[in-house]
Structure 1
Amino acid sequence: MSEEQAGNSLKRGLAILEVFSEEQLEWTPEELMERLGYSRPTLYRYLKTLKEAGFLSSNPNAGFTLGPKVVELDFLLRKSDALILAGQKHLKNLTQRYACTALLVRRYGNRILCVASEQSAVKPRSSYPRGRPMPLARGAIARSLMAFLPRRRLIPLIENTMEDLRDIGLGTTVDEVLESLKRVRKAGYAVAFGEVTPGVVGISAPVFDAGRSPIAAVCVTIAGHLVDGNTIDEIAAHIKQAAADITSVLSDQRQSIAAQ
């Protein structure tokens, strides 16, 4: 098998894992063949490999679900991800200061999701716990990331999410949205009121590594009745400092590796 063929085979195998979602947690072989267009022999070859590796589990007389290897990798991720290791103490500090949920959110591809969180609120309210993909355009986290994306990445994202952006009042055209995001960029953080979870205020600032594009965000979500304008400004200052500290750690690590 050539290198190109091996790469294509890997992509086709990984495509099976990509179909799992909250909307459909279990898939039968017939559903997978219809969704992916694979022949039966090809599909069963991939399923056998993924099952033996622990990425999939099969249920008798039913379909396939994600397997225990995913849990094992998640454990290793928590112990090795530089973002999580650098950010965990800041999440703890934020929850010690405020009755809130503090989140560390990773951006990858066209997705953003929480990779670490701490809670101190008595009855925390969050629609997106760790591991659940978040909206690309709604909420403080999405806005704090969008505002710092390079234009070539930002314009297509705005165009693809214009309906959501219009609903939350960010603008009705690409130029209007860009103008709104300029204000976020100038402030260095974003604030959203009830856009993701009703009654909850989100405050978020971006995290970078050695590059110019944000790779993550630090966010606090807090019940709206617990904050006013001054409190939001105070929380925002702490979040910006936390994001800057994490950025510094990641940048130093990247430069250290590059120098070796």
Structure 2
Amino acid sequence: MKPTNSLERVLAVLEVFSEERLEWTPEDLMRELGYSRPTLYRYLKILKDAGFLMSTRYSGVTLGPKVVEMDYLTRRSDPLVLHGVPYLKELTAAYSCTAMVLRWYGNKILCVASESSTKNPISSYPRGRPMPLGRGAIARSIMALLPRPRLVPLIERNLADLRSVGLGDTAADVLKSLKKVRKAGFAVAYGEVTPGAVGIAAPVFDDRHYPNASVCVTIAGTLVTGAQIDEIGAEVRRVALQISANQATVRQKSDA
């Protein structure tokens, strides 16, 4: 969807930055976004003055220090981080693993906090690196608890990835697979996101009991048996439910 107002058009400049493209020249931005030169330069000035962009030595622009400042503030204010980290420490004390809290937004899942108790952490997605919604235990743990009207469009949008990991050839097949996840209370995936790693994830709910995040443990497949995976799954589910309850309690106190 193309931006329709000035604010959306300014934000669209930030949206083009990605892991694959960290720096842009004004000429490339004009081609990518379709903005006129005066319009683009006006937006670049606004974003540079606010610290969201900065110039590079080769007449390009990249993300600026305001992004770093806001990341620091997010760590201090995000309830998933504040309530989640102590529980991640519990999980990493019990198992040689990486434990994460991940937030879902749009068609992405983003790690917001992680802890590790292994020398060589098994995770391809540290804090801030978005992962796709169609692969891995984390995505399934969230999708399985979504209401059907919200879930079906997500399945259809990500069907190619979901099919590639064996969840089914059609949306109906995927719905059946996700029903099993919903019944178990946690999802398990083998090497779908990081080769050699088992992902075990359970959903976190907001105060309306809507899944908006996930707790996940990633552990080397050589370290766990099927019975141990079930044990870890139960612990991950317990932690996810506790974080959910803590978030709801904080919301109730703020509304009082």
1:238 aligns with 2:235: yes
Q: CA deviation at 1:125?
A: 2.1
Structure 2 equivalent of residue 189 of structure 1: 186
**1:209–1:254 contact (8 Å) kept in structure 2:** no
| Residue equivalent to 2:161 | 164
Residues 25-54 of structure 1 show CA distances to partners (whole Å, capped at 9, x for unaligned) of 101111111111111111111100110111
Aligned counterparts, 1:128-167, within 5 A: 128-167=125-164
Q: Does 1:102 align with 2:108?
A: no
SS at match of 1:234: helix
Larger mean CA deviation between 160-169 and 84-93 belongs to 160-169
TM-superposed deviation, 1:151: 1.2
SS across alignment from 2:75: helix
Give the CA deviation at 1:147: 0.4
Per-residue deviation at 1:60? 2.7
Letter of the structure 1 residue corresponding to residue 16 of structure 2: V
**Structure 1 regions of 5+ residues with no counterpart?**
1-6
Q: In structure 1, how many angstroms separate the alpha carbons of the residues matched to 2:58 and 2:141?
A: 46
Separation (CA, whole Å) in 2 of partners of 1:61 and 1:172: 48
| 1:40-119 alignment, distance < 5 Å | 40-119=37-116
Say if 2:199 and 2:218, in contact at 8 Å, map to a contact too.
Answer: yes
TM-score by length of 2: 0.96
4+ runs of 1 displaced by more than 6 Å? none
Q: CA offsets per residue over residues 213-239 of structure 1, 9 Å max, x none?
A: 211000000000100011111111111
Partner Cα distance (1:9, 1:82) in 2: 31
In 2, the alpha carbon distance for the partners of 1:211 and 1:58 equals 43
In structure 2, distance between residues paired with 1:150 and 1:19: 31
Match of 1:39 in 2: 36
Deviations 1:140-199 (A, max 9, x none): 001101101121121111111111111111011111110000000011100001111111
The separation in 2 between residues aligned to 1:254 and 1:38, in whole angstroms, is: 42
Q: Which runs of 5+ in 2 are unaligned?
A: none
Report the Cα offset of residue 110 of structure 1: 1.9
Q: Offset of 1:62 from its aligned partner?
A: 2.8
2-structure distance, mates of 1:88, 1:123: 20
Match of 1:217 among 214, 220, 233: 214
Once superposed, what is the RMSD of the aligned Cα atoms?
A: 1.1
Q: Which moved more, 1:91-100 or 1:205-214?
A: 205-214
Aligned partners of 1:258, 1:178: CA distance in 2, in Å?
A: 36
Give the aligned residue type for 1:230. A
Q: Which amino acid letter does the alignment assign opposite residue 121 of structure 2?
A: P
TM superposition score normalised by structure 1: 0.95
User: Could you tell me which residue of structure 2 aligns to residue 258 of structure 1?
Assistant: 255
